Amino acid sequence: MLQVATPTATEETQTVIEIEGRASLRGEVRISGAKNSALAIMAGTILCSDDCRLSNLPALADIDKMCQILAAIGVKLKRDGDRLVVDASHVGHGPAPYDLVSQLRASFFVIGPLLSRLGMTKVPLPGGCAIGTRPVDLHVRGLQAMGADVHIEHGVVNASIKGNGRRLTGAKIYLDYPSVGATETILMAATLAEGETVIDNAAREPEIVDLANFCRSMGAQIRGDGSSRIIINGVEKLHSTDFPIIPDRIEAATFLCAGAITHSEISLFPVVPDHLASAIAKLREIGPEVAIDAPDRVRLIPRDLRGTDIETLPYPGFPTDMQAQFMALLAVSEGNSVVTETVFENRLQHVAELQRMGANIKLKGNAAFIQGVPFLSGAPVMSTDLRASAALVIAGLAAEGKTIVQGLRHLDRGYEDIEGKLRKLGAKLTRIEQPVSL
């Protein structure tokens, strides 16, 4: 059995999650607001010079960082639980602090609203999970097509509207890849541009639709969101709004995997079942049934697990953000599976950690070849990115013995109180302090 030493007063410690595996789960999980939607919408509040009131905001490290970034550029914020009042009437031209922006990829979303509202801005190049190349060139080319002068100097993106114009100009923009971030940046910038902007090969994710709904609630003229062509007719000004964030489809699918791997019946609420279509389809291929009990509620009914193949693709394909969690599930599913990652080239780093737990996985390029094993064994493992951290927690729930998951800064970026929600279902896990090995 893995022993966890009690740290002395002079030892460095780290926070880890300790999981006693093989516990049955039962009950209902309340799904939080969608992180990826909330971050873009928070940036979008800059477009409005009146108050915006957001609700169903998740309590996450990434949300905290975005609040700090907005505050640093002059936005006034009042937060009460899952509610946030945003006053961007006095937003300034100064750049957001590099030390904040470098930790959060979504911080770059502020460039479109700042440029469209103020006519110029400076935004440091962003950071986030080390899961592969995520260049900002599609964002930049879109802004340039709308009349912006954009250049990168010393790690800072400088953008301004050319000439004496105070507004960006509508344009026809084709994205080489249906990038969610680029679609959101261009969509937000276009809401206050002069004339019509057309985004072809746009991303179709539910978070794009949520952002468009938010902008429409402020008076923006947008149509086609959810399809590959989005059309925005610019307006001169946007007005105040109250807006609820959609439920987090990735958190919901993660809990479905937790139920499946522990052979447990659990319910999730609130959810939008259509947003989970690809994850539900793959779960049914693997064996479990997913019942839609109400328009905003689904239930996982456990069944024997069998292997299947998965390829990550832009929405409505299977989401890259669920690849690691499903790999943990397939590691204990009977037979062979192949998981192919086509979106991010470095998003298979969790394979080595699952192997430490006894998973039989072989890597070849961007594909993982999995032969299911009867059970996993608890081990100390290290999170390599946000979704990998959730996959390791899921694996620990099903493993024999004790699993210790390190690197919780990733987990806390995207899952609100995941251990509290799992404990409510009956999981045996807790957050503890552990000595750091030097």
**pLDDT value at 136 more than 80:** yes
**Contact between residue 251 and residue 275 where contact means Cβ atoms under 8 Å apart:** no
Identify the pLDDT of residue 133: 42
Q: How far apart are CA 280 and CA 286, in angstroms?
A: 10
The CA distances from residue 327 to 28, 174, 287, 324, in Å, are 24, 34, 15, 5
How many residues would you count in the chain?
438
Q: Among candidates 131, 16, 14, 11, which has minimal Cα distance to 378?
A: 16
Report the pLDDT value the prediction gives residue 378, as an integer from 0 to 100.
97
Do residues 363 and 418 both lie within one domain?
A: yes
Mean pLDDT over residues 93-120, rounded?
Answer: 82
Hunting for tokens 């049914």 — which residue is that? 284
**Of 185, 214, 244, which residue is a domain's last?**
244
Residue 180 labeled ligand binder: no
Confidence of residue 413 (pLDDT cuts 50, 70, 90): confident
100 and 54 in one domain? yes
- Host domain of residue 50: 35-244
Phi then psi for residue 175, to 5 deg, are: -90, 125
Q: Token pair for residue 112?
A: 């479109």
The stretches of 192-317 forming alpha helices (DSSP H) are 206-217, 249-261, 277-286
Residue corresponding to tokens 């470098």 = 102
Of 182, 214, 244, which residue is a domain's last?
A: 244
Asked if 23 and 84 sit in the same domain, the reply is no
pLDDT at residue number 406? 94
pLDDT(310) > 50? yes
Return mean pLDDT, the chain.
Answer: 92
CB proximity list for 367: less than 8 A, separation 6 or greater: 338, 339, 340, 341
Query: Distance from CA of residue 389 to its chain's centroid?
Result: 13
Residue 136 marked as a ligand binder: yes
Please check whether residues 43 and 57 belong to one and the same domain.
Answer: yes
**What's the pLDDT at 35?**
96
The yes-or-no verdict on residue 7 having pLDDT over 70 is no
Statement to judge: residues 169 and 305 lie in one domain: no
Give the model's confidence band at 229: pLDDT under 50 very low, under 70 low, under 90 confident, else very high: very high
CATH code of the domain covering residue 338: 3.65.10.10
Residue-by-residue DSSP string for 275-305: GGHHHHHHHHHHS-EEEEEETTEEEEE----
Instruction: For residues 189 and 121, state if they share a domain.
Output: yes
Q: Which of 214, 244, 274 is the last residue of a domain?
A: 244
Lowest mean pLDDT among 51-55, 108-112, 267-271, 277-281: 108-112
Q: Residue 65 — left, alpha, or beta (φ > 0 → left; ψ -120 to 50 → alpha)?
A: alpha
Rounded to the nearest 5 degrees, what angle is found at the Cα of 362, between the Cα atoms of 357 and 368?
A: 100
Domain tally, the chain: 2
Mean pLDDT of 361-372: 96
Q: Is 343 annotated as a binding residue?
A: yes
Residues tagged active-site = 129
What's this model's pTM, rounded to 2 decimal places? Answer: 0.93
- The predicted structure's pLDDT at residue 100: 74
Residues 188 and 300 in one domain: no
Residue 127: per-residue pLDDT: 53
Average pLDDT over residues 125-131: 51
Q: Is 313 annotated as belonging to a binding site?
A: no
| DSSP-assigned letter for residue 322 | G
158 is in an annotated binding site: no
Confidence of residue 144 (pLDDT cuts 50, 70, 90): very high
Q: Is 295 annotated as a binding residue?
A: no
